[in-house]
Amino acid sequence: MEKIKIAFYDSKDYDKESFINSNVNDEFEITYLETRLSVDTYKLAEGCDVVCVFVNDDVNSEVIDKLHKMGVKLIALRCAGYNNVDIEYAFGKIHVVRVPAYSPYAVAEHAMALLLTSIRRIHKAYIRTRDFNFSLNGMTGFDLHGKTVGVIGTGKIGRIFIDICRGFGMNIIAYDKFPAKDSGIEYVELDELFERSDIISLHCPLTDESLHMINADSIEKMKKGVAIINTSRGALIDSEALLEGIKARHIGAACLDVYEEESNVFFHDYSNHIVNDDTLARLISMPNVIVTSHQAFLTKEALSNIADTTLNNVREFFEKDTCTNEVCYKCSNLANCNQAHDKKCF
Ligand code: NAD
């Protein structure tokens, strides 16, 4: 039987290793491409059945048209979020699958790692002690015990983050568009969450509705000294407003694993370049801002789950009528989507 051909965009050494080591790898012929998928690079998928993409590949309507004409049948996201794919435009042309959960623990634990690093000044201490500077001036932090954390989005990652915070003896309040019933979580309106939280952590998807949910107005409502953690998607925060809030000493700490313009810089080494993004440069220059480059997912367990689920998604798509991890723009209301009847979305 002929192998299913996959064009694997934006591949890194760690991706390649986990896909090669996956025990479902035998049925596929994978071309690993370092470049991202865009209108300039779609042709590299010529002759392939599947394109496999990650968070910063730009799968817009033009790219979808080109891939469709070339005979590509499936867009296999190796991540959970799908805001970078025009799923409404893809409907009826190319199916889209994703990895809904690979390790929610990886992301939730990274969110807490960023928070602890920031408020206990670990990033400063690491550099100081390497230079034999053992002074404690400027290193005063605060206890998490007894503080109120506002969690926005109580899905898989948000719920694990809540459990971690409970372990620290924190008070939890949350906002979710679809609150989880019988969860024992205290849900409040967004404004109340902004007003009461000492720490705010974002765990909801990026949609038209959630775009810039942290903006100048919402920052104004927050407590002075609030710490904001974003391990979800960059554009949930208006970065200019965040910067102004930090400059005004209103925001006490920002822990960012994602950034709204990250696709221009993240996952690349620009240490020998002049970075053109003034907002990012100014944010990074702040002593109370920590930036990691979308690395919250990056654990051995998550990489292995991503590889296995992605390849199983592809296999299921070509071998069966079902497509368990398919997403389409109708899926948010399953009654309107074929998925509810155990079929492909279209
Ligand atoms: P999930 O689908 O399990 O949970 C998302 C929750 O957000 C749901 O409870 C949903 O009801 C809620 N929600 C939807 N729209 C909302 C809105 N407008 N306001 C408030 N809540 C809303 O998803 P998850 O697995 O917990 O992942 C959460 C997000 O984390 C993903 O959307 C993705 O963007 C991000 N993520 C980041 C990384 C990383 O490496 N940094 C890795 C994986 C996922």
Tens-digit pLDDT string for the chain (346 aa): 789 999 999 999 999 999 999 988 888 999 999 999 999 999 999 999 999 999 999 999 999 999 999 999 999 999 988 999 999 999 999 999 999 999 999 999 999 999 999 999 999 999 999 999 999 999 999 999 999 999 999 999 999 999 999 999 999 999 999 999 989 999 999 999 999 999 999 999 999 999 999 999 999 999 999 999 999 999 999 999 999 999 999 999 999 999 999 988 999 899 999 999 999 999 999 999 999 999 999 999 999 999 999 999 999 999 999 999 999 999 877 778 887 778 999 9
Which residues carry out catalysis? 233, 262, 294
* Sequence-ordered list of residues with C-beta below 8 angstroms from that of 33, at least 6 positions apart, any chain: 7, 8, 9, 10, 11, 41, 44
Q: How many CB atoms are located within 10 Å of the residue 216 CB? A: 13
Q: In ligand 1, which atom is closest to the CA atom of 158?
A: 26
Q: What is the sign, positive or negative, of the torsion defined by CA atoms of 235, 240, 246, 248?
A: negative
Q: In ligand 1, which atom is closest to the CA atom of 205?
A: 32
Residue 131 backbone dihedrals phi, psi, to 5 degrees: -105, 20
The tokens 């009654």 sit on which residue? 335
Q: Which of 341, 304, 301, 328 is nearest to 75 (CA)?
A: 328
Distances (CA, A) of 339 to 66, 117, 126, 272: 26, 42, 50, 48
In DSSP terms, 256 is beta-bridged to 230, 291
Q: Ligand 1, from 84, 201, 203: best to mutate by most atoms within 8 Å of Cβ?
A: 203
What the block records as the tokens of 67 is: 């891939």
Ligand 1 atom 35 nearest Cα: 232
Q: Ligand 1, from 105, 232, 294, 327: best to mutate by most atoms within 8 Å of Cβ?
A: 232
In DSSP terms, 97 is beta-bridged to 76, 326
